[in-house]
């Protein structure tokens, strides 16, 4: 049912894109938007991960250029019985991360430099386990396509604002209708993305905690990331807000109206569920930075 619901929401995003085309150019605009949407869905299946990584300014790394991060991801992928994904670094000071790719065989995980600088090795492992959980649940294709279509809706709405007001435009709604569409379409797209993302975050938290074997590592990481996200801007995400739902914590700093349409469930509730899970596993007294599958406690090796 979760996949059926998500497919319906993706269909709504596509329909919204076509509706914006109709608002801007009437029937001809609707046909053009439909053709673009069909082509975009096809291209997104094969290339949306590359598009999102490029939008985020991510650069691929390996065991030579980022040995600690690469080793963590490799061990977690082994724990989860997943193929080794590609690993990327995003040069942003805000601690955050996301996963992308159309399937586990073509997956990628990306972490910001800020994540590596501000979290311990164990907390980074909790975050990367969460992202690998998205890969294992095959959420990454759905969330990446949603980001691509959501961004296209915003751009099409801006196009309508720039060119829809000309006298020879074919819009059935006139300039007032176009203005309303420019305002409402991105909001509607954000609401649909929110519906796609929120339930999947809880599932990825739980599975990620199972992959790294320590729910409190992820709980501690979420607390740190959420606090930092309010203070430190993620420039790439601010320029491309349609990608916000892909990150482990909403990367938008709340400078606009983003908090009214949060793409993520409440962080406090996520942490509470993870702590309850740790208690069920008999880990109620285990520190988030205490040794686990990687041995003794280590400070963040990235300084």
What domain range includes position 215? 2-280
Inside any domain, residue 294: no
pLDDT at residue 245, rounded to an integer: 80
Alpha helices in 56-120 (DSSP H): 67-79, 113-118
Choose the weakest-confidence range: 46-50, 123-127, 229-233, 293-297. 293-297
43 vs 7: CA distance, rounded Å: 17
Q: What values do phi and psi take at 108, rounded to 5?
A: -145, 145
pLDDT at residue 193, rounded to an integer: 64
Inside any domain, residue 297: no
Structure token digits, residue 172? 């059935």
pLDDT at residue 223, rounded to an integer: 96
Give the number of other Cβ atoms within 10 Å of residue 65's Cβ: 12
**For residue range 203-223, what is the model confidence (pLDDT) as tens digits?**
999 999 999 999 999 999 999
Question: Predicted confidence band at 299 (pLDDT cuts at 50, 70, 90)?
Answer: very low
Inside any domain, residue 114: yes
Q: Give the three-state DSSP class for 9.
A: helix
* Residues placed in the known binding site for Zn(2+): 130, 134, 201
Inside any domain, residue 292: no
The total number of structural domains that make up the chain? 1
| Cβ(253)–Cβ(297) below 8 Å | no
Inside any domain, residue 262: yes
Inside any domain, residue 249: yes
Inside any domain, residue 242: yes
**For residue range 15-50, what is the model confidence (pLDDT) as tens digits?**
877 887 777 777 777 777 778 777 776 776 677 788
% of the chain surpassing 70 pLDDT: 72
Catalytic residues, which ones? 131
Q: Which residue has the higher pLDDT, 263 or 78?
A: 78
**For residue range 184-196, what is the model confidence (pLDDT) as tens digits?**
777 777 676 666 6
Average pLDDT (5-17) is 72
User: What pairing do the DSSP bridges indicate for beta strands 58-61 and 86-90?
Assistant: antiparallel
Inside any domain, residue 302: no
pLDDT at residue 167, rounded to an integer: 46
Average pLDDT (116-129) is 96
Please say if the pLDDT value at position 295 is more than 90. no
H or E element, residue 38: helix 2-55
**For residue range 220-235, what is the model confidence (pLDDT) as tens digits?**
999 999 999 989 999 9
DSSP 92: -
**For residue range 138-192, what is the model confidence (pLDDT) as tens digits?**
887 777 677 667 767 777 766 665 655 444 455 555 666 667 666 777 777 767 6
pLDDT at residue 184, rounded to an integer: 72
């Amino acid at each position: 049912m979760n996949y059926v619901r998500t497919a319906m929401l993706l269909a709504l995003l596509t329909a919204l894109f076509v509706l914006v085309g109709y608002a801007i150019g009437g029937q001809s605009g609707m046909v053009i938007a439909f053709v673009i949407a069909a082509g975009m869905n096809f291209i997104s299946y094969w290339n949306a991960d590359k598009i999102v990584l490029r939008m985020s300014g991510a650069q691929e790394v390996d065991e030579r250029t980022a040995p600690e991060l690469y080793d963590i991801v490799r061990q977690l992928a082994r724990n989860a019985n997943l193929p080794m994904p590609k690993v990327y670094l995003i040069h942003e000071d805000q601690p955050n991360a996301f996963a992308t790719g159309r399937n586990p065989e073509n997956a990628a995980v990306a972490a910001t430099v800020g994540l590596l600088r501000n979290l311990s090795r164990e907390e980074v492992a909790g975050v990367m386990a969460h992202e690998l959980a998205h890969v294992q649940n095959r959420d990454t294709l759905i969330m990446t396509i949603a980001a691509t279509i959501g961004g296209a809706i915003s751009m099409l709405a801006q196009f309508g604002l720039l060119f829809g007001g000309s006298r020879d435009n074919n819009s059935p709604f006139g300039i007032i209708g176009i203005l309303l569409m420019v305002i409402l379409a991105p909001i509607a797209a954000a609401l649909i993305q929110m519906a796609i993302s929120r339930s999947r975050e809880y599932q990825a938290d739980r599975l990620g905690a199972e992959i790294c074997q320590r729910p409190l590592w992820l709980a501690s990481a979420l607390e740190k990331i959420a606090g930092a996200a309010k203070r430190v801007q993620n420039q790439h995400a601010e320029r491309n807000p349609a990608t916000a739902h892909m990150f482990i914590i909403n990367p938008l700093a709340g400078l606009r109206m983003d908090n009214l349409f949060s793409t993520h469930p409440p962080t406090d509730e996520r942490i509470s569920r993870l702590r309850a899970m740790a208690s069920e596993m008999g880990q109620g007294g285990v520190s988030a930075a205490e040794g686990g599958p990687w041995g003794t406690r280590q400070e963040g090796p990235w300084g």
